[in-house]
Structure 1
Amino acid sequence: MVSEPQNHVRREWTEKLLVMTREMRRRDLSLHLGSEHVRNDTCSLINLADVKEVKRIFGTAGSAGRVYFQAVDHFIRSKVEPFQAVLNTWMQGAKARVNARDIPFAEVITWCQDTGDNQARSAMSKEVRSLCAFLAPFSYASWKVLLNVLEHDLGYPEYLAFCEEKRGVSLTNSSSHARDFLGETRDTYRGLIEPWLKKVTKISLGDASRFDAIYLLGLRYLDHLFPQGLTIEKITGFFRKWGMDLAGNPALHIHSEGMPGRQSYCIPVDIPGEVHVIVGPLHGWLDMESLFHELGHALSFIYTDPSLPPEEKDFYQSGALSEAFAFLFQRMCMSMEFLQEILGLSSENARTVSRAHTLKWLTLTRRYGAKLVIEVENFRLGRLEKGQSFYSEIMGRETCFHYDPETYLFDLMPDFYSLDYFQAFMGAACLWEYLNEAAGEDWILDTETGSILHRWWRNGNRLDLSAFLQETLDRPLESGPFIKVNQYDP
């Protein structure tokens, strides 16, 4: 039985961490928008004594444990940020030189998505390999600080064990599931990827690098089929079919900034009251995908029940549930039904775009499954710095594209976020299959879909993805629906 004084202390700490979280997200928003951020002086940093106090009060398990791990995240961030700032400074100055043009390191992916010149992409591969080799020590320094803080300050000598306790999952089992999926889809994938690559680029798979894959998945070569005059306003208007007025919702802020294909973000400053979506201009399929993906995040936040406590809406250690909603929307906007019925494409053009996207979906899912396998194995064996060759080997085998070992640290995601992406691809297919059953195969056009989504979203982040599917839909998180929903029609 918790006494009233203890409850008071719990409320004080929860509120303090909530304020810190909102301040952190507001600062991230300013950075992504390129605007100056005025720091809230009332928001003080958290120290190790604070973290230990929060652990004593809340423990590490269940929803209360989320408060502790939120405190841990703030503490770790305060220690790592100075080293990350050094890396960012060097990255901002790093440029790849291709065809007498300097391409900033941060814009390499966008450049590859837009560049149909095979020789230029090959030159970019060599440039990035050199840049990554130069920048790797700075990236490694940030990771080393993180691991040292975990071991010496927080008592977690193993990064794998820390992330498992934080997430409440077995990463070893998750990696095993990813291996099973990779094995289950390997032959199908290999039979599809080479003809697609050859048709688009005239390159054989044995000569292709990850930069060719970036171009292939960017779908810019299909932008001549993109509807002229399509606007963000028209897209947000689609959601009125589901009873959602996005234009009139004061909680949703959409920023269309910078170049097409830029990195997109959804930043929930205050759930559910203030959520920001940052995307580039709407010039092609990739831009529309990004917009729908971020709207999937955003709507799951703005329709969250505001009465939920912070540990069930603001503090969450896995992003897989929100990513599943994001992938559901992204997959939906590139489906035959949406392309024909909403965007007005001909049956032939809709089939061309939808087929390409289905192959993209399989490629991306296998990529994140392979990354998860690599990251779990490398951290299990304690080879953060020496995991490059294993990374290059497994990514090459499972994606069929060459990955330079030097790029490893720049493809490594903190907190095993590769697991969130991998599970979210599976989860989105489970959601899709459920909507097919509950609202019919034309659920995209059915008003009942809005009611179903509202019910799902009201739960906020009370459950992680696996628990949500089991408790809400009475089905497990598994690969079967993904393979069924994403069948390729040759």
Structure 2
Amino acid sequence: MDRPVHSVRARLDDFLAELATLHYRHGAGLSTDLPVSALHASFPEVSDPDTFSAATEALEKARAKNDVLAVRRLQLLRELVAGQVEEALAARDVEAVAKLEAQARLPVDDQTLSFGEVLSQLPQETQRGRRALLERAVGNFLWGERGRYGARREAALRTAERLGARSYPLLRDDVSGIAHDKLVEAAEETLRRTEDAYRDVLGYVLRKLEPTLRPLPGGDARRHDLQAALQSPWMDSFFRREDLMPAVTRWLNEWNLPPAANGRIRIDDEPRSGKARRPFVAAVRVPSEVRLVIHLEGGMDRLGGLLHEFGHAQHLAHISETAPVELRRLGDASVTEAYAALTERLLLCPEWLKRYLHLPSTPARDTVRLAAFQALAVMRRHCAKLSYELSLTTRGASEERAEEYVAGQRRALFVEPHPGFFLFDVDPQLYSARYLRAWALETRLTARLMERFNEDFWRNPSASAWLKGLFSRGGTDDAEALSTEVSGAALSLPEAGARLVAILNG
């Protein structure tokens, strides 16, 4: 029974390198196709239920021997295989969706725009009437194609059946070690405790867009209004396109984290048709080949995205090259998302903004408050998404789920969403849970950095050296273990929300 495990282990690095390359080429605008079916055919053992059974058996043996390292490696391998069983079942639909989105042309006014153009223009559009047209165009398109998107989501239910689990959420509980029901409770508490502060600032930013605009229930704000407000366009003069990359580069160099990590991080910043608007990282080989794809644009939100993805890239580039393949290539995604959130949260540091972007004191304070609002809006959105996605992966992609999606997002964000997004605005494999846990862990990590290296830890090379030590471990620790190690306390999502509320109320 160990043979499938050995086979996956032997070819894991190559499989993940090819998978990352496919996603890199697709996201970088180098290919409109995403041929994942052929990849799964070339590495059939990675998505074979028999491999999952073999990993389960090997894990039980390792636990009986109290072999801690073997247990961790097998936990990570088993979770990977469960995920790839799902991805293989969904592969044809993923390819079809990628082709559909690449070829779609949507009517907007007297124009015809690509699917990607509509999505990228939507939050940037300053005229509310045109934003509504853009949202309606893409929302109606997604609703009309809900059968194709639904087929992708139905792969979760088929995965649970294929692997003998009673339900998909229970399967994810088992392979990830995350108690999703407990996290839903924490998310509900976070929504309750952050509601007043969020709604107050939402009213303020909506009025900045348009004086008569008001949130629900008394107003008529829609999701596209919130998307535009989160861009904080009235702050654009402080976040010029030509200033952002030099500011981040200077900071990383001064913090002894060179942007290219001595050649391990390859930055793709070439303008290219079809390139993703938001930056992303593709881990081709870890730690030696990490690709950071950037579409350079101005704005506070764009700076946050740039900082976030550099956090991912630096983490991957500093994982120990001698670690076992599972610890180099796999891990609790909450941990790497926490490192990315840690760098993104530099927008909450007025002194960082003054030093690297030369912001005066008043715009720096305004930026901190707006960045806290952005972070809280994203947190509340994912708090609502988690319970919805648990329902979706239990009950299937019926139109009733659209009603559930709309109700949850409306309650969390106080704006009206378009129901067509109910199968598009979904994180596969309950990844929303990883984000929520990441933000809780980031709160612990930041508190520890400030305690040990003072409030300006971001300019202290000793702080980056401490972080590199954590980075080097790769997938050794899950988020709970790391939280306990650095703070002596468990993860607490409500505390992460309370930190943002304190900034908003300060």
TM-score, length of structure 1 as denominator length: 0.90
1:322-471 equivalent positions in 2, closer than 5 A: 322-333=336-347, 335-380=349-394, 382-385=395-398, 386-471=400-485
Q: Could you say which structure has the greater relative contact order, defined with CA pairs below 8 angstroms and 6 or more residues apart?
A: 2
> Within the alignment, does 1:132 sit opposite 2:142 as a pair?
yes
Please state if 1:218 is matched with 2:231. yes
Classify 1:227/1:405 alpha carbon distance in 2 versus 1 (closer, same or farther; 3 Å). Answer: closer
Cα distance 1:235–1:103, how it changes in 2: closer, same or farther (>3 A)?
Answer: same
CA contact (8 A) 2:267 2:291 kept: yes
Partners of 1:114 and 1:215 within 8 A in 2: yes
Q: Quote how far apart the aligned CAs of 1:305 are.
A: 1.6
Cα distance in structure 2, aligned partners of 1:228 and 1:149: 44
Q: Which whole-Å CA distance do the structure 2 matches of 1:463 and 1:328 have between them?
A: 17
How has the CA–CA distance of structure 1 residues 101 and 116 changed in structure 2, closer, same or farther, with 3 Å as cutoff?
Answer: same
- Cα gap change, 1:40 to 1:391, in 2 (>3 Å): closer
Question: Aligned residues, how many?
Answer: 482
Is the contact between residue 279 and residue 287 of structure 1 (CA under 8 Å) also seen in structure 2? no
Superposition map of 1:69-468 within 5 A: 69-151=79-161, 153-202=162-211, 203-205=213-215, 206-227=219-240, 229-230=242-243, 232-247=245-260, 249-258=262-271, 262-316=277-331, 318-333=332-347, 335-380=349-394, 382-385=395-398, 386-468=400-482
Contact 2:330 2:474 in 1 (8 A): no
Give aligned-pair identity as a percent: 20
Pair 1:378–1:30, CA change in 2 (3 A): closer
Structure 2 partner of 1:66: 76
Q: Which has the higher mean CA deviation after the structures are superposed, 53-62 or 97-106?
A: 53-62
> Cα–Cα, structure 1 residues 394 and 234, in superposed 2: closer, same or farther, change >3 Å?
closer
Look up the SS of the partner of 2:101 in the other structure: helix
For structure 1, the residue ranges without an aligned partner over 5 or more in a row are none
* Distance in 2 (alpha carbons) for counterparts of 1:415 and 1:141: 15
CA positional deviation for 1:484:
2.7
Question: 1:453/1:482 Cα in 2 relative to 1: closer, same or farther (>3 Å)?
Answer: farther
CA distance in 2, matches of 1:140, 1:78: 16
Look up the match of 2:14.
19
**Contact kept? 2:108, 2:133, Cα under 8 Å:** yes
Q: Aligned letter for 2:503? A: Q
Structure 1 residue 231 displacement after superposition = 5.4
Letter in 2 for 1:45: P
Q: Which amino acid aligns with 1:488?
A: L
Q: Distance in 2 between matches of 1:475 and 1:335?
A: 24
CA deviation string 1:17-48 (max 9, x = no partner): 23212221122212222336998999533363
- How much does 1:232 deviate? 2.6
C-alpha change, 1:132 and 1:182, in structure 2 (3 Å) is same
Structure 2 counterpart of 1:467, one-letter code: A
Indicate whether 1:488 and 2:504 are aligned.
Answer: yes
Cα deviation per residue 1:119-144 (whole Å; 9 max; x = unaligned)?
A: 11122232233112111010111222
Match of 1:45 in 2: 44
Would you say 1:477 and 2:491 are equivalent positions?
yes
Match of 2:67 in 1: none
The one-character-per-residue Cα deviations of 1:278-319 (angstroms, maximum 9, x if unpaired) are 121143323222211101011111111222212222123x41
Higher mean Cα deviation, 261-270 or 415-424? 261-270
Q: What is the SS of the residue equivalent to 1:103?
A: strand
Q: Scaled by the length of structure 2, what TM-score is found?
A: 0.88
For the 8 Å contact 1:23–1:43, the answer to whether it is kept is: no
Q: Which one-letter code corresponds to 1:221 in the other structure?
A: W
Name the CA shift for 1:127/1:227 in 2 (closer, same or farther; >3 Å): closer
Between 187-196 and 174-183, the greater mean CA deviation after superposition = 187-196
**Amino acid in structure 2 at the alignment position of 1:51:** T
TM-aligned CA distance change 1:128 to 1:115, over 3 Å: same
Give the 3-state SS of the residue equivalent to 1:488 in structure 2.
helix
* Aligned residues of 2:55 and 2:78 also touching (Cα < 8 A): yes
Does structure 2 conserve the Cα–Cα contact (< 8 Å) formed by 1:369 and 1:422? yes
1:444–1:17 Cα change, 3 Å: closer
- Counterpart position of 2:66: none
Could you tell me how far apart the structure 1 residues matched to 2:99 and 2:39 are? 24
Kept after mapping to 2: 8 A contact 1:58/1:65: no
Distance change >3 Å, CA 100–CA 394, structure 1 → 2: same
Q: Unaligned 5+ residue runs, structure 2?
A: 64-70
Which region of structure 1 is more displaced relative to structure 2, 296-305 or 342-351?
A: 342-351
Distance 2:462 2:378 in 1: 30
Q: Distance in 2 between matches of 1:103 and 1:334?
A: 36
Letter in 2 for 1:137: G
**Residues 91-138 of structure 1 deviation map (CA, whole Å, 9 limit, x = unaligned):** 223333333222322333321221110111122232233112111010
CA drift at 1:226:
1.9
